[in-house]
Structure 1
Amino acid sequence: MSRSVPWVEKYRPRKVEDVVYQTEVVSALKNSLNSGNLPHLLFYGPPGTGKTSTILAISKQLFGPKLFQTRVKELNASDERGIDVVRDTVKKFASLSSISVDPKYPSPKFKILILDEADSMTSDAQNALRRIMELYSKETRFCLICNYVSKIIDPITSRCAKFRFKPIKKELMLDRLKYIATQERVPIRDKALNSLISMTNGDLRSAITLLQSAAAMVLPFPKQLTNNKIPQKNEKEKEKEKETQMEIEIEKKDDEDEDEDEDEDEEVTTSLIMEISGFVPAKVINEFIETCKSNSYTNLVKKVKEVIYSAYSIQKILFELMNRIIEDNSLNNLQKSNVCEKIAEKEHSLIDGADEFLQLLDLAACMASVFQQIK
């Protein structure tokens, strides 16, 4: 197993045809590949659905490995999102002309500039980018990648061919994860894979990363090779070593049955995946909700502190609470909407840097008030 290479890179699609469950996008881009012409692109949709992989795949098919390094530039707009970066880095790359070709590939005359997480760019930077797209459309094609297309200004969206990437179906995710597990010889059952898929909500990249992390906990690491010289052993040491080795082999034969039982336990389980992913156990959510129903402010404060000290992601706790509230048949639609609205407010406040304890306590008080209405 290759431990040095992230599996998300190792199993990234190499061709547009290999992209999973994005039929419309693949069909349109294959036509562009055949014609050698590509418009400005805007890929949007949930994370882990293949947006970056798709543009990288078509770029490699257009230019080949030799020209890819000079014709394609990828920027993460969340790190480099200011107007200065657009005016300097982006403009400098976009303005350069390209004349080199590779006869084995279409090698169109334009370059490709990929702006990942473009929805985090400031409005000033987006306006500057719009002007650059107008001036250098012959020399450079732009591909903007984002999760929320509503955060991209209209003058940019109107200049791009927009493609929505859908969340990947569970069946397709299961097939892909099974393939990777087989290739990497990871002992894992369908039950654990289904749990992994449920935790990642259609994010295949996150699922593959978690699978690799879990596999690292189960599979043995390869022995490290060193360049140090091994000191030579004398005859007595060699004889002792042989005797010791024989004793070990005898013990192994005697304990063969026990070893087989242990090997069966050495697999990636649902509990291991939950532990690595930081998934909030149902017990934590159940106890929190029951405390909200207890009508005791002292118990409420104590439980909120306990949840905070458990170090689970507050965002994940809010997500699980929202799901439980929606599924709670004892609440009417108005009560559910009030709690869900409060959860949304708390999530927004946390993103802005609010205190986790105070926000969760305020939510708990709101839930306690709602639960008291049904008694």
Structure 2
Amino acid sequence: MQVMIMGSMLCGQKIKDFAAVAIGSGNRQGGYVCPPYKIIILDEADSMTEDAQNALRRTMETYSKVTRFFFICNYISRIIEPLASRCAKFRFKPLTEDVMSSRIMHICNEEGLSLDYEALTTLSSICEGDLHRAITYLQSAARLYGFSISSKELISISGLIPQGTVQALFAACKIGEFDTANKEVSNVISEGCPVSQMLSRLFELIFSSDDISNVQKARICKRLAKADKFLVDGADEYLQLMDVASHLMRTLFDMPQEIQFD
């Protein structure tokens, strides 16, 4: 069987040429009869432009008898309907922490890496069931820091906002002083922390907090969602994070949520 694997930066003519060539039947490899078709695997297919996908649609229709296409993507909504409707969809859940830890330790043993329990837990947590990301972080950490890797080094490699930074901003909001909260927000921006990630970390912290009522959590999460949408639209990171912090303070201290102007 002939298999062609390509990334999102594909060459249309190369795919067309590969798909057009027929395969002789009856060939045996390893004792098995080869199927009478080729396979083209397109990784990160959701990065393709709509024009590229439309061009690929014609190729799929023309050479469907001799070629099969596999699309690997994170967001099925970014695949145009004519392509998606011609495919059987298989969704894969993130790996469990046990499976992640077991496989990571196997890789460490094979590669001679030293990873303690804290580092293993950190790696499983920041990768959220994505083994490919975990392997990439391990490889980068080994090149930068050697074969003994700590939890702090993995956090540095991943670009994850330290928990202490998130706690500091949350604690400043709980004090209720604008200048203190503004200082922490400025620190987050000056450190180059991605505000979208900070919103996600704040959501996790607030959601698991026992001293915040469900009504307060709902108000805060609503504002977090709005800020995340504004960031996607290109809003200023400092202003959005400061808006979230001020809203968080108003909610925790039961201050008026909106200011009305006549």
TM-score (norm 2): 0.83
Tell me which amino acid in the other structure corresponds to 2:98: E
Structure 1 position 118, deviation (Å): 2.4
Q: Corresponding residue for 1:238?
A: none
Is 1:75 matched up with 2:2? Answer: no
Is 1:299 matched up with 2:180? Answer: yes
Structure 1 position 133, deviation (Å): 2.1
Contact 2:39–2:70 (Cα < 8 Å) also in 1:
yes
Q: Corresponding residue for 2:104?
A: 177
Structure 1 residues 127 and 276: alpha-carbon distance in aligned structure 2, compared to 1, 3 A threshold: closer
Structure 1 residues 189 and 73: alpha-carbon distance in aligned structure 2, compared to 1, 3 A threshold: closer
Q: Corresponding residue for 1:94?
A: 19
Within 5 Å, which residues of 2 pair with 1:247-326? 267-326=148-207
Contact 2:20–2:63 (Cα < 8 Å) also in 1:
yes
What is the alpha-carbon distance in structure 2 between the residues aligned to residue 174 and residue 99 of structure 1?
44
Structure 1 residues 118 and 345: alpha-carbon distance in aligned structure 2, compared to 1, 3 A threshold: farther
What is the alpha-carbon distance in structure 2 between the residues aligned to residue 350 and residue 179 of structure 1?
40
SS at match of 2:41: strand
What is the alpha-carbon distance in structure 2 between the residues aligned to residue 366 and residue 216 of structure 1?
43
What is the alpha-carbon distance in structure 1 between the residues aligned to residue 56 and residue 216 of structure 2?
45
Within 5 Å, which residues of 2 pair with 1:84-163? 88=13, 90-99=15-24, 103-104=29-30, 106-163=33-90
Tell me which amino acid in the other structure corresponds to 1:321: L
- After superposition, give the CA deviation of every residue in 1:130-182 in whole Å (9 maximum; x if it has no partner): 34322221122111111122333443333212111111111111111111111
Instruction: Number of aligned residue pairs: give it.
Output: 254
Single out whichever of 148-157 and 321-330 deviates more from structure 2.
148-157
Within 5 Å, which residues of 2 pair with 1:2-13? none
What is the alpha-carbon distance in structure 1 between the residues aligned to residue 78 and residue 132 of structure 2?
23
Structure 1 position 89, deviation (Å): 5.1
What is the alpha-carbon distance in structure 1 between the residues aligned to residue 206 and residue 247 of structure 2?
12
- After superposition, give the CA deviation of every residue in 1:65-115 in whole Å (9 maximum; x if it has no partner): xx5xxx414131xx46xxxx65x5544443343449564364333222222
Structure 1 residues 315 and 106: alpha-carbon distance in aligned structure 2, compared to 1, 3 A threshold: farther
- After superposition, give the CA deviation of every residue in 1:284-340 in whole Å (9 maximum; x if it has no partner): 111101222333333332221111111223333222111011112233334323322
Is 1:188 matched up with 2:115? Answer: yes
Structure 1 residues 126 and 340: alpha-carbon distance in aligned structure 2, compared to 1, 3 A threshold: farther
Is 1:369 matched up with 2:254? Answer: no
SS at match of 2:72: strand
Larger Rg: 1
SS at match of 2:42: strand
Q: Corresponding residue for 1:166?
A: 93
Q: 2:220 aligns with which of 324, 336, 339?
A: 339
SS at match of 1:205: helix
What is the alpha-carbon distance in structure 1 between the residues aligned to residue 141 and residue 166 of structure 2?
24
Q: Corresponding residue for 2:124?
A: 197
Structure 1 position 200, deviation (Å): 1.1
Identity percentage of aligned residues: 39
What is the alpha-carbon distance in structure 2 between the residues aligned to residue 143 and residue 327 of structure 1?
40
Structure 1 residues 331 and 89: alpha-carbon distance in aligned structure 2, compared to 1, 3 A threshold: farther
SS at match of 1:202: coil
Q: 1:210 aligns with which of 119, 137, 144?
A: 137
- After superposition, give the CA deviation of every residue in 1:165-208 in whole Å (9 maximum; x if it has no partner): 11111111111111111111112222321221011111111111
Tell me which amino acid in the other structure corresponds to 1:297: F
What is the alpha-carbon distance in structure 2 between the residues aligned to residue 73 and residue 211 of structure 1?
25
RMSD over equivalenced CA pairs, Å: 2.8
Q: Corresponding residue for 2:259?
A: none
TM-score (norm 1): 0.60
Structure 2: state its 5+ residue gaps: 256-262
Contact 2:173–2:249 (Cα < 8 Å) also in 1:
yes
SS at match of 1:141: strand
